[in-house]
Chain A
Amino acid sequence: QPHLQESGPGLVKPSETLSLTCAVSGGSLTSSNYYWGWIRQPPGKGLEWIGSIFYSGITYYNPSLESRVTISVDMSKNQFSLRVSSVTAADTAVYFCARRAAADSFDVWGQGTMVTVSS
């Protein structure tokens, strides 16, 4: 199975843009027709799916975030990225990248990265 690793700033100011990258190792983004996605978890709370992308660039977003979210893929670096614009304190969360697998479950996850929105 591939290994996923998130990276990006741990602190973002309100109204600015949150940017994270998920590096995929031990496997190719283009293999086996998998979708790749982002999921977040506010401190002490449950999980929220943000969106998913196919290596061809096809994307699906959660309507609750769609106006502020962009997910993109860089096949040359075998990684995909998340951008969330106009962040507020409500965007403070651990952000996970994950692989979407059978029956639309998520079978491989990154370790997660904490992002705090604060001035």
Chain B
Amino acid sequence: DIQLTQSPSSVSASVGDRVTITCRASQDIITWLAWYQQKPGTAPRLLIYGASSPQSGVPSRFSGSGSGTDFTLTISSLQPEDFATYYCQQGNRMPWTFGQGTKVEIK
């Protein structure tokens, strides 16, 4: 299975901060990577697919980049509604796998 390692596991930030989350794959997944946001008690929400393509309706402050084994999700200016847990997921090879998550907390 392809392992995805996210860092950091958690980050404390303030409204307006720029936040960057990284996801490293155990092997080359080209650009078959998605990012999700999950708030407590709710289903994950797709933010980015294909490493850098924003899902329809996602605010422009969310962006994704990377290819191969190293990927990043950037929130350019953190908003109150962005405090949540973020997951990466690879779609290059089955079984599809997820990172362990990064919790973005209020500083």
Contacts and interface: CB of A to CB of B under 8 A. Distances in A.
A62 B42 CA distance: 23
Contacts of B100: 46
Contacts of B83: none
A49 B93 CA distance: 12
Interface in B50-90: 50-51, 53, 55, 87, 89
Contact of B99 (A46, A60, A62): A46
B55 to A, nearest CB: 6
A103 B55 CA distance: 12
Residue from A47, A98, A103, A111 with most neighbouring chain B CB atoms (10 Å): A103
A47 B87 contact: yes
A14 interface: no
A49 B95 contact: yes
Nearest to A4: B43
Residue from B36, B49, B100 with most neighbouring chain A CB atoms (10 Å): B49
B91 A105 contact: yes
A60 B94 CA distance: 8
A74 interface: no
Interface string A56-99: 00001011100000000000000000000000000000001010
A34 interface: no
B97 interface: yes
A4 to B, nearest CB: 9
Interface of B: 31-34, 36, 42-46, 49-51, 53, 55, 87, 89, 91-92, 94-101
Closest 8 CB pairs of A and B: A104-B91, A105-B34, A109-B43, A105-B49, A103-B50, A62-B95, A47-B98, A49-B96
28 contacts: A46-B99, A46-B100, A47-B44, A47-B89, A49-B95, A49-B97, A62-B94, A62-B95, A64-B95, A96-B44, A101-B46, A101-B49, A102-B49, A102-B50, A102-B53, A103-B32, A103-B49, A103-B51, A103-B91, A104-B32, A104-B34, A105-B34, A106-B36, A106-B46, A109-B45, A111-B42, A111-B43, A112-B43
